[in-house]
Amino acid sequence: MWRSLALAAALGTAVAAHAQQEVEVPKTPGWELIMRCVICHSVEIAVQQRFGPQGWSETLDRMIKYGAPIPPEDKAQLMAYLLRHYRDPAGR
């Protein structure tokens, strides 16, 4: 718990430093949900990774555990969005 709070605090500082150079995400259905990731860290961090379905599912579950406001129906839409644009074809 303390570890993730400390990390969130560290990320907060990083977000402030990067506020002026946010990355753009493709505006296909579900993109608005990415704005919920920005509560804790930059869009850049949210979309830096390339995963397959299992990797994204586990990552989103971890964010939900940290407190991300993502109910199951939104998770499904986020998964579809992330796998459309940020998929590692060889990944899990």
Binding site for ligand HEC (CB under 6 A): 4, 7-8, 11, 36-37, 39-41, 45-46, 48-49, 59-60, 62-63, 66-68, 70, 78
Alpha carbons 18 and 24: distance in angstroms, whole number: 13
Q: Which two tokens stand for residue 68?
A: 């991300």
Shortest distance in whole angstroms from residue 62 CB to ligand HEC: 5
* Backbone phi and psi for residue 62, each to the nearest 5 degrees, phi listed first: -65, -40
Name the minimum Å distance from CB 54 to ligand HEC.
13
Q: Which is nearer to ligand HEC, 4 or 28 (CB)?
A: 4
Shorter beta-carbon distance to ligand HEC: residue 5 or 21? 5
Pick the closer one to ligand HEC by CB: 49 or 54: 49
Q: How far apart are CA 29 and CA 26, in angstroms?
A: 9
